[in-house]
């Protein structure tokens, strides 16, 4: 299969309040239980990292949920990325105070791209992650915001290259079309984005089997792969996931 370098295996937790939810193509939210319980289970079984995504914070224009981040970080001593409702450097600082190692911005970064440069300058580029929710359109892919619900009209490749220029330390690339389907990832999207940028790219959306994981791991430009539904529903275990290379 692939190389000797380690590709990070990440558990993605989509949350609303303290609950772990899982949408399919950004719709039909399903309540799976307490996010804290899932994060603790994944940590105890050896997951490399966790990304916590508040999937309604930006949609409702509300502040990030620090209490759930704090409860997860208290039990999980691995890198944690927080995404959802980040609209200021103060929010970034609070995220770090509550246990996040990195923050990912999406909706607000589209409204005010300078936030990427500010995070990178003040906290280091490794802290400044940009989430890109990508949806297929006739001439490529467009960026979506508000939890994958609203289009921006901005091409994914244009935005990926811009955030790199602004100092982003990485991209979290999610296929809205594939998210939650468990029928395979959009490998054309993955290949196109990793060929266009030199910063680390973590990919998400659509994995439902170890075969799907292996397809991603063949790509030499990938920094990490994040899984949600496949882990939540037991399509494969954390231990099976982290053993792939």
CB 37 within 8 A of CB 127: no
Residue 48 appears among annotated catalytic residues: no
The residue with tokens 């970034």 is 92
| E-assigned strand segments in 17-139 | 19-24, 27-34, 49-54, 80-83, 102-105, 128-137
Q: Among residues 14, 48, 146, 179, which one is catalytic?
A: 14
Residue 224 parent element (H or E) = strand 224-227
Cα distances (angstroms) measured from residue 68 to each of 54, 86, 140, 218: 10, 15, 36, 35
Q: Among residues 48, 133, 179, 235, which one is catalytic?
A: 133
CB 226 within 8 A of CB 202: yes
* CA–CA gap between residue 244 and residue 214 (Å, rounded): 7
**Bridging pattern class, strands 19-24 and 8-16:** antiparallel
Residue 179 appears among annotated catalytic residues: no
Mention every residue, 6+ apart, whose C-beta is less than 8 A from residue 175: 134, 135, 185, 186, 189, 204, 205, 206
- Residues with a catalytic annotation lie at 14, 133
């Amino acid at each position: 299969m692939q190389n000797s370098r380690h590709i990070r295996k990440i558990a993605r937790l989509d949350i609303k309040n303290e609950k772990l939810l899982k949408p399919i193509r950004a719709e039909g939210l399903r309540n799976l239980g307490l996010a804290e319980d899932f994060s603790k289970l994944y940590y105890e079984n050896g997951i490399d990292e966790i990304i916590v995504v508040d999937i309604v914070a930006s949609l409702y224009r509300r502040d990030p949920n620090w209490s759930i981040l704090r409860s997860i970080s208290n039990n999980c001593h691995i890198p944690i990325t927080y995404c959802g409702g980040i609209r200021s450097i103060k929010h970034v600082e609070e995220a770090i105070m509550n246990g996040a190692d990195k923050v990912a911005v999406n909706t607000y970064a589209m409204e005010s791209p300078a936030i990427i440069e500010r995070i990178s300058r003040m906290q280091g580029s490794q802290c400044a992650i940009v989430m890109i929710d990508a949806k297929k359109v006739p001439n490529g892919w467009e960026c979506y915001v508000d939890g994958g619900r609203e289009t921006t009209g901005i091409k994914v490749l244009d935005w990926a290259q811009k955030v790199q220029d602004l100092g982003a330390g990485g991209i979290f690339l999610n296929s809205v079309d594939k998210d939650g389907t468990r029928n395979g990832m959009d490998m054309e999207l993955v290949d196109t984005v990793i060929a266009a940028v030199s910063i680390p790219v973590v990919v998400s959306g659509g994995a439902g089997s170890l075969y799907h994981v292996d397809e991603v791991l063949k790509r030499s430009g990938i920094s990490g792969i994040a899984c949600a539904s496949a882990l939540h529903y037991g399509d494969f275990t954390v231990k099976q996931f982290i053993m792939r290379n």
